[in-house]
Structure 1
Amino acid sequence: MEDHKSSTPVAEEENVFAAAQNFVRVLETNRNLPGDMRRILMDLNIQLSTMNLQSESRQGISKIEEQLSSVEEKLIRWESDQTMIWDSQESASEYLQAVDEVRRLAESLEALSLDKDENVSELLRQTHRVLQMSMARLEEEFSHILFQNRKSFEPEHKSFHSCATDLVDDNSIEYDSVESLRRDNSISEESIIDLVHADVIPDLKGIANLMISSKYDKECCQAYISTRKDALEERLSTLEMEKMSIEEVMRVDWSSLNLMIKKWMRAMKLFTRVYLASEKRLCDQIFGEYGSINPFCFVETSKASVLQLLSFSEAIAIGHLQPEKLFRILDMYEVLSDLLPDIDDLFPDEFGSFIKTECHEILKRLGESVVGTYSEFEKAVGSNPSITPFPGGGIHHLTKYVMNYIKFLIDYGDTLNLLLEGHNEEEHVKLIPKLNSVEEENEAASSSYSVTPMAHHLRSVTSVLESNLKNKADLYRDGSLQHFFLMNNIYYMVQKVKGSELRAFFGDGWIRQHNWKFQQHAMNYERATWSSILALLRDEGINNPGSNSASKTILKERFRSFNIAFEEVYKSQTGWLILDPQLREDLRISVSLKVVQAYRTFLGRHASQLDSERHIDRYIKYTADDLQNYLLDFFEGSQRSLHNSRRR
């Protein structure tokens, strides 16, 4: 009686089908049946089996319909709730289970082989509507979790700091040397940070898994890309990198652009080795199990920010070639060059190939800009015009600029050797020929001289400088000042080379040669200034003491002429300037040995002849010690006059 009550129409139908199939199988076993009858029974058996399967399917569909109705009711209740589901871990777990149940129901309906069954098709459409509604909610929850759980931190990172040191030499050139992150400071576990709180990673991964398995991978990726792309762009903003077109960058004045480049270098290092590396790990944590989805999300998330950084460097690379930009372009080249291995590691597959290609292309353009800018520097040195002589015969601004400029280039020796190698020598300004082959070989044999592309270029530009200095010296009417000016400037060049790492690029032979040059100019200065004056202190034409009045007249004229000549030299050459105290002292001593000693001897021999003369101080105005003291005023750059001076 209980069995009868528990039976259903579907179950009774299945029993009938089963009994009929058993009866047919029994008949089929009768070997006396004719062949036609046997074939009829076989067809009947197949039809009964199909009818039985259809009955079972209808029973399964009925169960699916009941399950869908139940889970849909739950999901709608969640949908009407204004709070976020993942605010409660219990609700989140229940919601995921409910949505996963809908997903499995959809798979079951899709697997049923009931073509053209309108009831099943309608039920499948209903299932997809519920699934779509749930996926939209999951997408919203996914974005919300990503956004609300971003970690805030300062842009400065302990492994990636920039230290700037202002180097100012003789006020001729100012340059901020920014410490580069070399390859040994590349991406490491210590540099990677959590971009979102670690405790929500399982939730994000769970949502992603369900959306992807439900074939909503595009929606999941879009939610991730949109949220994280904004976060990365915000990081760039905290690094003070504003969005600018290439045209806008090229219109910025150099002072502002110089600061922007320093910010770019810092941002490029931090962004690549901290933010991008961390973003890749976050992608791996959420999408690591899903093949191409993982690199696709990472590339799409990061490409806008990376291209913004590269766009700035491209604007610098194609901008106007100006010598003052060279150090900054070299900095950018070295930063990008150091980061290339990291970028290759971050974008190893075809999805990121265009980013790697762009980085390599911009690095090439920066290299071309370095070579072009250095060529402009050489041309500027050779063509630097002067229409008036440099005051006081001191060290010309161009000399200071060039020597300090090339001194700072030493820090970029490896990079410049790489970029200048093979560069067309004919494109450079060569106002003075380079060393001949014998001299080159002799220098190469010296351990103090490095025969490299950079060494050739540095020596070349100093030759151009020397040629320009000779042209500037010709502007002086005074021949002695011409030699004085060249002595000053060549001595400065020698000291710059001797006192720095430039020595390795120029060699001891260059130093010896230029020491000889400035000494020759010092000797020529002394001859041009003092030879005619010293001629007045010779004995020719003057008789011994006690001679006639004609001899006294000549002697008086000699003293008078000497006084006038010395006073004129004093007046002019106290205004001449030697900055280097050692050179100034050496030249004073050299002049003193010649002039003071000659005057002392002349005075000792002939002063007594004028003892009887009235107003002798009109002729013998100075003692030898006076001259010695007055020479101490020479080359100080402050013009004086003995006519208004008090006797010392």
Structure 2
Amino acid sequence: MDTSSSPPLPRDDDAHVNGVAAVKSPSDDEPDNVERDTKQDEEEGDDGPHPVSHVALPQILKEVDSFLRRGDPVEVESSSGPAEETRMIELLCERVESAVGKYSSSSRLGCDPNDEACLFDSISRLSRLTNKLESVSSKATSRGIQLLSRTSSALQRAMVLLEDELRWSLDRQSRTNNEPELKTIKSKPSFNLVYQLDRSIPEPNSEEDELLPVFSPDTVSRMNRICSSMIEAGYETECCMVYSVSRRNVFKLALTKLGLENMNMDDVQRMPWESLEGEIRTWISAIKQCSTDLFPTERNLCESVFSSSSQISRSLFSNLVRSVAIQLLNFAEAVVLTRRAGEKLFKFLDMYETLRDLVSSFDESYDADAAEEVRAEILAAKTRMAEASVKIFYDLENSIKSDNGRTPVPNGAVHPLTRYTMNYLKYACEYKETIEQVFREHQDRSSNNDDDESESTGNDHKEDKVKVANRDGESSPFGKELMSVMDLLDVNLDMKSKLYRDPALRYIFLMNNGRYILQKIKSSPEIHELMGDTWCRKRSSELRHYHKSYQRETWYRLLQCLSHEGLMVNGKVSKQALKEKFKNFNTMFDEIHKTQSMWVVNDEQMQSELRVSVAAVVTPAYRSFLGRFSQYLDSGRQSEKYIKYQPEDIEGLIDDLFDGNAVSMARRKT
């Protein structure tokens, strides 16, 4: 609704203003009104709360309008003209006081539309009378000053009534039952407080509570006439105060229904993260509800009630938004000041997105100064939330650097640090656009700030940034930070691999962790886009290198037992040397099987590739050696003693490797 073109206050020649009947000119001939008002006067007589003359209201208003058209100061003369006008002013005051007394004691506005229209017509004339008498009070006679006192007193009583009626109308919490077409604003559901690293939206509850009362068109129209009358009479401050206080109370109740408690800084600081995470979800829901439903609804109501003054409407609405925004932003400020922890990043980013969207929801319907002030407060809170998010991400880098545990992961499995880091990055990249914006804003602020930031980021981190800044294909600040994290993780894993005494297990550990990292990146389009195909190809090449190094450390040593060296003595096969060869092979193979069947390779594809590659190296060599030299051993018990395995047995035992369980040789042979 464009409030800049709102119509002016009601004038005598207005036929209709915003759906509210305007004041009729005394020149309009309305015999029905004359008859009704005359009859009303006769019924009231001298027994009413304020005795009035039996002069019809249209006649009183006609004489008053005649007085208002005069430009000269008030003079009480003996001539019938001015004296008659003065008497009509007295009668108008009596009429207003009589109506005020009736409504104050027995009923509310809206019970009788005709009486209500007459009251507003009378109050409008009384307001203009008072304004005119005040404007000429310095030149008025004593009688004129008495008239001013008389009209001011009657007008004040009328304003007390209208103020009470406005407050009563605003404080009504339920709408009429005969208007089912009107929509009500509903509250969002409560949320589970269990922490989740995802962005899923909870299912709504079946029960919905009304957040804001929805007023009927008649009620809005009546409040519009009340406010227009109070503003015309010079009671703008009182009118705005009643409206403002009432609507702020309504919004306070609405936020409470949404589950948003007015917590202070200490409350937030002491709250466990699991509970605070739930409060953040409620806070986000409340802001979205305000920006998409509550604020637009309130703006429409304010524009309708104060259609006679777009300036007042904008000011009241903007001040209300500012008071609600302060409460919401205070919570955000308190959350930012809590102790930093890695799991908080995602909720901080949620809050950042919410504040960013809240700024964009402001439009021209807000008062310029108030909107700019609120916008500045939101932007400041958003900036602090962004800085806190960046620092949390830097904490991830620092935690990788400082992870100097000296206990190796059993059986070469994926290290918990690798799992945590990659899952963390995967979830972070679900916020790719937002976190990219956060880092870009941080970079822009840093480039304009000459202060030393070593306390928050560390000099080592700066060196890491320089190291990755020149890589091809990297342009985004977050992409550089992501690459820095991967470099730090590689260095840390390489250090942890040296904790294993067995070189073969060291390479299994590096393969496990490298494969896990690569699969995580390939399964996340966001990370894969940031890391690039070149990085992935390099990682795959490293895995192949680890694979070959593992085979060299384990199986090439075993194959040395099958070499022909030392078997020939004087041109003949030495049975003793052959027996030693088979004996050494069996012993070493048993030891490898016993050890490496307990090692862990979680990735099924890599596990299968390792087994196939081992079988491809060992089985043919063993089959060839066995086929060539088994004939030199005596058949029977001697042969069985030294030829412990057939090639098929070797293949079956290789299939036991990397299961994480020790397999009994006897059970395998049976």
TM-score, structure 2 normalization: 0.77
Structure 1 residue 109, shift from structure 2 partner: 3.8
Partner residue, 2:307:
288
Partner residue, 1:555:
578
> 1:437-472, CA deviations, whole angstroms, 9 ceiling, x for partnerless residues?
99823xx3xxxxx53222211111011011111122
Counterpart Cα distance in 2 of 1:436 and 1:145: 68
Partner residue, 2:40:
none
Distance 1:418 1:78, change over 3 A: closer
> 1:580-613, CA deviations, whole angstroms, 9 ceiling, x for partnerless residues?
1111110111111112222222222222222246
Partner residue, 2:90:
65
Counterpart Cα distance in 2 of 1:476 and 1:559: 29
Task: Say which of 562, 581, 602 aligns to 2:604.
Answer: 581
Distance 1:212 1:432, change over 3 A: closer
> 1:406-435, CA deviations, whole angstroms, 9 ceiling, x for partnerless residues?
223333333333332335897365599679
Partner residue, 2:562:
537
Partner residue, 1:356:
375
Partner residue, 1:629:
652
1:605 aligns with 2:605: no
Partner residue, 2:499:
475
Counterpart Cα distance in 1 of 2:122 and 2:93: 10
1:488 aligns with 2:519: no
> 1:478-516, CA deviations, whole angstroms, 9 ceiling, x for partnerless residues?
221111101111122122223332222112221121111
Distance 1:603 1:477, change over 3 A: same
Counterpart Cα distance in 2 of 1:534 and 1:397: 35
1:533 partner letter? L
Structure 1 residue 547, shift from structure 2 partner: 5.0
**Pairs within 5 Å for 1:91-490:** 91-107=115-131, 109-113=133-137, 120-148=144-172, 153=184, 155=186, 174-177=196-199, 195-421=214-440, 422=443, 427=457, 430=461, 440-441=471-472, 444=473, 451-490=475-514
1:246 partner letter? M
> 1:201-250, CA deviations, whole angstroms, 9 ceiling, x for partnerless residues?
21110111111111111111111112211222222223221211133223
1:514 partner letter? R
> 1:121-161, CA deviations, whole angstroms, 9 ceiling, x for partnerless residues?
4443343333222212211211222232656735368xxx9
Distance 1:52 1:647, change over 3 A: closer
- Give the SS at the match of 1:565: helix
TM-score, structure 1 normalization: 0.79
Distance 1:410 1:314, change over 3 A: same
Structure 1 residue 346, shift from structure 2 partner: 4.8
Deviates more, 1:256-265 or 1:588-597: 256-265
Structure 2: 5+ residue runs without aligned partners?
A: 1-73, 176-182, 202-211, 448-452
Counterpart Cα distance in 2 of 1:407 and 1:348: 43
Root mean square deviation of aligned Cα: 3.4
Partner residue, 1:89:
113
Deviates more, 1:359-368 or 1:236-245: 236-245
Counterpart Cα distance in 2 of 1:475 and 1:541: 37
Partner residue, 2:180:
none
Distance 1:239 1:570, change over 3 A: same
| 2:172–2:213 Cα contact (<8 Å) kept | no
2:296 partner letter? A
2:108 partner letter? M
Counterpart Cα distance in 1 of 2:533 and 2:191: 34
Counterpart Cα distance in 2 of 1:409 and 1:522: 31
Number of matched pairs: 567
Larger radius of gyration: 1
- Give the SS at the match of 1:529: helix
Structure 1 residue 400, shift from structure 2 partner: 1.8
Counterpart Cα distance in 2 of 1:370 and 1:306: 22
Deviates more, 1:49-58 or 1:552-561: 49-58
| 1:178–1:331 Cα contact (<8 Å) kept | no
| 2:96–2:154 Cα contact (<8 Å) kept | no
| 2:224–2:306 Cα contact (<8 Å) kept | yes
- Give the SS at the match of 2:197: strand
- Give the SS at the match of 1:401: helix
1:535 partner letter? Q
| 2:406–2:499 Cα contact (<8 Å) kept | yes
Structure 1: 5+ residue runs without aligned partners?
A: 1-48, 167-172, 180-192, 445-449
Partner residue, 1:640:
663
Q: Percent identity?
A: 30
> 1:600-637, CA deviations, whole angstroms, 9 ceiling, x for partnerless residues?
22222222222246354332221111110111111112
